Amino acid sequence: MRDPLPDWPVFGMAQDVRPALRQARQAKRPLALATLVAVEGGGPRPPGTQMVFAKGIVAGYFSGGCVESDVADHAFACLADGEPRRLVYGAGSPWPDIQLLCGARIEIFVEKVEPDDPALAELLAAEAERRPAVWVSDGRRRACGASPAAWDGAIVQAFEPVPRLIVIGADPTAMAIAQLGAQTGMETTLVRPKGPEAPPPLPGVAYRRDDPAAALAAIGVDAWTAVAIATHNLEADQEALAAALPSAAGYVGLLGARKRLPERLAPLRAAGFSEARLQQLHAPIGLDIGGKAPWEVALSVIGEITALRHARLPAAPRQATSISSPQGLAKA
């Protein structure tokens, strides 16, 4: 008999289930991976959303409480017999008493994954090395890699590197941006050149004291990295911009008044920065939500980074889709 789900579903607050996959693998526990493969009529979560179940481990959510307990029952049954399952809730479900309040119909694919599965090892290696990876599985056979060939009856799920946030600054606004970034699941580092040796009291936020160029080089900047510059100092801003703009960062934002932007960009133009790259700078940083308090600015910045990240994604990679009806797949 499985343990009941916690009364407070903090397990569902994180989008990425890879930490739970790693936890199960390190504990050498088989796990049940549940993937939302179809949504009709709306729904709280998009296709590609996942949950993980193992002894003492649960992560992710599908509906905010409508189906999670039932999915857990099927997941642990899958762990017991090894048979993959396709669960249907809503129209056409064999459990008419389990309804989503939004009226949606969802399909969930559940598979058992052993801790020594090579595909699981590759998925977690790709995460550690910040490589995109694609998971292909029919519940009995699976592959993971940069672009593995799919086959009839398999689901396809794409994984991207964890979003990374580098905040350059030291005031309450910079700290609020860093704290909120960490709380939303970004790998976050606060950079304060020549700052105090003691790190900031911000849980989940790394700290560096070197100059922006050295910090960015040490942390590593790629297309999944956002750089937020919030120093309130013209010279420091220019040094940070000179390091961030030539990098591979997918987002570079600058805190400050719009009227001061020309004087901030003039030295960069003189240094030969292209207009195309300067146009990619988000300045003033963040969405215009009207507030200027530290947490309000932080909300606007993380909101802008999140909105742009989802807008850049093509339709296919974030979705898990069933290529066809899996042969021999247990339908529940």
Exposed, middle or buried: residue 34 (CB in 10 Å: 0-12, 13-18, 19+)?
A: buried
Q: In this structure, are residues 165 and 181 in contact, taking their beta carbons and an 8 Å threshold?
A: yes
The per-residue pLDDT for 290 is: 92
The per-residue pLDDT for 319 is: 35
CA 193 vs CA 119, 229, 231, 253: distances in Å: 41, 12, 10, 18
Nearest to 49 by CA among 90, 105, 109: 109
- Quick one: DSSP state of residue 144? E
Domains defined along the chain, listed by start: 10-160+317-331 (no CATH), 164-312 (3.40.50.720)
∠ at Cα 98 (94, 103), nearest 5°? Answer: 100
The per-residue pLDDT for 322 is: 32
Give the Cα separation of 287 and 268 in Å (integer).
Answer: 24
* Per-residue pLDDT tens over the stretch 73-119: 999 999 999 999 999 998 878 887 787 777 788 999 999 999 999 99
The per-residue pLDDT for 92 is: 78
Q: How far is CA 166 from the centre of its chain?
A: 16
Q: In this structure, are residues 108 and 62 in contact, taking their beta carbons and an 8 Å threshold?
A: yes
This prediction's pTM:
0.89
* Per-residue pLDDT tens over the stretch 135-179: 999 999 999 999 999 999 999 999 999 999 999 999 999 999 999
Coil vs helix vs strand at 149: coil
Sorted by sequence, the CB contacts under 8 Å of residue 108 that are 6+ apart come out as 34, 35, 36, 37, 62, 67, 71, 86, 87, 88, 89
Confidence of residue 42 (pLDDT cuts 50, 70, 90): confident
Confidence of residue 249 (pLDDT cuts 50, 70, 90): very high
Which tokens hold the place of 68?
Answer: 């999670």
Most confident of 35-44, 155-164, 250-259: 155-164
* Per-residue pLDDT tens over the stretch 266-291: 888 898 888 888 888 999 999 999 99
Which tokens hold the place of 65?
Answer: 């409480």
Q: In this structure, are residues 59 and 22 in contact, taking their beta carbons and an 8 Å threshold?
A: no
Confidence of residue 260 (pLDDT cuts 50, 70, 90): confident
The whole-number average pLDDT for the span 58-74 is 92
Q: Is a pLDDT exceeding 50 seen at residue 317?
A: no
Nearest to 106 by CA among 58, 156, 71, 150: 71
Which tokens hold the place of 122?
Answer: 């590759």
Q: Is a pLDDT exceeding 60 seen at residue 315?
A: no
The per-residue pLDDT for 98 is: 81
| Cβ atoms within 10 Å, residue 82 | 12
The per-residue pLDDT for 326 is: 35
Nearest to 281 by CA among 236, 257, 239, 250: 250
What does the DSSP assignment read for 260-289? GHHHHHHHHHHTT--HHHHHT-BSS-S---
Higher pLDDT, 221 or 316: 221
Q: Is a pLDDT exceeding 80 seen at residue 34?
A: yes
The whole-number average pLDDT for the span 228-257 is 93
Sorted by sequence, the CB contacts under 8 Å of residue 239 that are 6+ apart come out as 211, 212, 213
Q: In this structure, are residues 56 and 14 in contact, taking their beta carbons and an 8 Å threshold?
A: no
* Per-residue pLDDT tens over the stretch 179-211: 999 999 999 999 999 999 999 999 999 999 999
Which tokens hold the place of 211?
Answer: 């100059």
Whole-number average pLDDT of the chain:
90
